[in-house]
């Protein structure tokens, strides 16, 4: 049974303001909820049907404070999805500590003003695929715990650490103090396929409509560009979607390492 | 002024059944509408504000049967978008003829059971970027003229030709009669980064949840796979989104040609 107050409380978490105040977010569906628990996230409560509880065991060590049995009708009242799944979890937002040193020797993503929740989710999912452990978003990017973002990460949100920081500071420190390579996409950049890349560094991706913010330009020392096809002709499509561009760039960085490994 | 009947008629085109019966589809927004006209698509009608007509000239040769001046309130009644743009066009669905011979010497995409309209739109956009002129979808894929697909192509729908066909027949003819390379992604496929690819052929992409339909397997002679990172470890993310995987594969096919061109 779900009280009116609980329904109201869960629904309040659909807004960023309340998520931040409460330090909680919503995740739905068997696969996602189990993946979060499996990766050590703590749940304040699970709302699931009796059928679901009867058919699922929890991963060892799963931390769930409150296990509520609810009806499908009640799930409809709290779900963020058109077709509510059998389980909805309210999870504590983890608060990993940010140390620029943790980015040493690794490839990481920096997202400047990403506004679409689905794009952010897709980027987290591909970061997970390509073994990218850390991401940094500008403060004006969409919220990581927006239900659409959470759902579209397909569970990768539990493994990729996403920080919200003042990007000028991060890139300045990264580039000038830490000596990181800072890559960014620019129309007049070098051909991604033929230019030298690196095993480590930061890759800055800008918004589709506005590109990378001008104040970040001074700290980007490696300009790259995804060439369209055929070579030597202007692209007919104006641009690639930002998550697509991120995927293609990450793939090329990882391909180089693959080829190096095979050659070595 | 928009009559009640016109509003009803335009809204009926949000359903596939009516689009197919009428041979018409909806496209919204200045950029998209102008791009369709520019690429030779015929409009049955444009519904736009006086402000829009005053500030936009039509591309030369644009074919528009009916130019209606409407209010923003009226646009809200017919728009498929949360924030209706100043112009909505009703366009005739073009009917290009399918000849398997047209696929000779080119790289083309074959989509098996793609169900998400946004994914289809994103794939059309990236096909346009990577100079892929033709795509073939299985009959049970999402409709190309679904408003969400149309909008997410960002205008590329006017340039990439998309056919709906019985894929078993197409692949059989392509592979056995035409001698095309038919690529497909399989978990046990060859590493995309290190295996030999080709300048031409068909790339088959399956649905995220079900993969490539078993009845198509006999006609796929080149199995490929996008490796996750780090090499030699199981991926933590279960899979990549189908449009992301398509983008990464197309990028790698085109990269090879780039590198060949530079080397040659």
pLDDT tens digits for range B7-49: 999 999 999 999 999 999 999 999 999 999 999 999 999 999 9
The yes-or-no verdict on residue B112 having pLDDT over 90 is yes
The yes-or-no verdict on residue A111 having pLDDT over 60 is yes
- B216-241 pLDDT, tens digit per residue, is 999 999 999 999 998 777 777 778 99
Chain A residues in contact with B226 by the CB 8 A cut-off are 129, 251
Chain B residues in contact with A122 by the CB 8 A cut-off are 241, 244
The yes-or-no verdict on residue B264 having pLDDT over 60 is no
Separation of alpha carbons A126 and A120, rounded Å: 10
Separation of alpha carbons B152 and B207, rounded Å: 19
Identify the band that residue B262 occupies on the pLDDT scale cut at 50, 70 and 90: low
Question: For residue A132, how many C-alpha atoms fall within 13 Å in the half-sphere facing its CB?
Answer: 28
Separation of alpha carbons A167 and A172, rounded Å: 8
User: B4-92 in CATH: which number?
Assistant: 3.30.1330.30
Report the residue from B126, B128, B131 with minimal CB separation from A230: B131
Task: Please state which of the ranges A70-84, A176-190, A220-234, B168-182 shows the lowest mean pLDDT.
Answer: A220-234
CATH number of this structure's domain B100-263, picked from the four choices 3.20.20.70, 3.40.50.620, 3.40.1280.10, 3.10.580.10: 3.40.1280.10
- A119-139 pLDDT, tens digit per residue, is 999 999 999 999 999 999 999
What mean pLDDT is reported for chain A? 94
Task: Tally helices (H) and strands (E) across chain B.
Answer: 9, 10
Mean pLDDT of A205-212: 89
Identify the band that residue B209 occupies on the pLDDT scale cut at 50, 70 and 90: confident
Separation of alpha carbons B93 and B87, rounded Å: 18
Identify the band that residue A52 occupies on the pLDDT scale cut at 50, 70 and 90: very high
Instruction: List the single residue in A with minimal CA-CA distance to B245.
Output: A247
Closest CA to B240 of B183, B181, B192, B170: B192
The answer to whether residues B259 and B197 touch, using CB atoms and an 8 Å cutoff, is no
Task: Tally helices (H) and strands (E) across chain A.
Answer: 9, 10
DSSP state of B211: B
- What six digits make up the tokens of A85? 């799944």
Q: Does B251 touch chain A (CB under 8 A)?
A: yes
The yes-or-no verdict on residue B263 having pLDDT over 80 is no
Closest CA to B133 of B96, B165, B166: B96
What separation in angstroms does the CA of A105 have from each of A101, A179, A200, B158, B163?
A: 9, 11, 5, 44, 47
Separation of alpha carbons B205 and B31, rounded Å: 29
Report the residue from A122, A194, A230 with minimal CB separation from B262: A194
CB contact under 8 A, B156 and A258: no
Beta pairing, strands A87-92 & A107-111: unpaired
Q: Does A148 touch chain B (CB under 8 A)?
A: no
Measured in angstroms, the CA of A60 and the nearest CA of chain B are apart by 18
The answer to whether residues A53 and A87 touch, using CB atoms and an 8 Å cutoff, is no
- B194-206 pLDDT, tens digit per residue, is 999 999 999 999 9
Identify the band that residue A113 occupies on the pLDDT scale cut at 50, 70 and 90: very high
The yes-or-no verdict on residue A199 having pLDDT over 50 is yes
Measured in angstroms, the CA of B2 and the nearest CA of chain A are apart by 32
CA gyration radius, chain B: 21
What's the pLDDT at A60? 86
Measured in angstroms, the CA of B73 and the nearest CA of chain A are apart by 26
Task: Give the ipTM.
Answer: 0.93
Separation of alpha carbons A200 and A185, rounded Å: 16
CB contact under 8 A, B251 and A248: yes
What's the pLDDT at A264? 44
Question: How do the domains of chain A map onto residue ranges?
Answer: 4-92, 100-263
Say whether A164 sits in a helix, a strand or coil.
strand
Q: Does the predicted model carry a pTM greater than 0.90?
A: yes
What's the pLDDT at A262? 61
Q: Does B62 touch chain A (CB under 8 A)?
A: no
- What six digits make up the tokens of A147? 């239900």
- What six digits make up the tokens of B126? 């990236």
The yes-or-no verdict on residue A219 having pLDDT over 60 is yes
């Amino acid at each position: 049974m779900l009280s009116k107050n609980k329904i109201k409380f869960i629904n309040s978490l659909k807004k960023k303001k309340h998520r931040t105040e409460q330090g909680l977010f919503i995740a739905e569906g068997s696969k996602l909820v189990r993946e979060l628990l499996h990766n050590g996230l703590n749940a304040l409560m699970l709302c699931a049907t009796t059928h679901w509880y009867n058919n699922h065991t929890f991963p060892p060590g799963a931390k769930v404070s409150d296990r509520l049995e609810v009806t499908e009708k009640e799930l409809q009242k709290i779900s963020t999805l058109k077709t509510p799944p059998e389980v909805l979890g309210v999870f504590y937002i983890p608060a990993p500590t940010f140390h620029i040193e943790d980015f040493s020797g690794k490839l990481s993503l920096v997202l400047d003003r990403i506004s679409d929740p689905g794009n952010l989710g897709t980027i987290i999912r591909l970061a997970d695929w390509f073994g990218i452990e850390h991401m940094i978003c500008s403060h004006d990017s969409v919220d990581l715990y927006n239900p659409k973002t959470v759902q579209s990460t397909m569970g990768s949100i539990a493994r990729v650490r996403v920080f919200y920081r003042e990007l000028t500071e991060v890139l300045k420190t990264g580039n000038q103090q830490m000596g990181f390579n800072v890559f960014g996409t620019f129309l007049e950049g070098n051909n991604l396929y033929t230019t030298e890349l690196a095993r480590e560094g930061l890759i800055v991706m800008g918004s589709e409509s506005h590109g990378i913010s001008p104040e970040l330009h001074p700290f980007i020392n490696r300009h790259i560009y995804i060439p369209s096809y055929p070579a030597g002709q202007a692209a007919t499509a104006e641009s690639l979607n930002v998550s697509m561009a991120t995927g293609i760039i990450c793939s090329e960085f990882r391909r180089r390492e693959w080829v190096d490994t095979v050659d070595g």
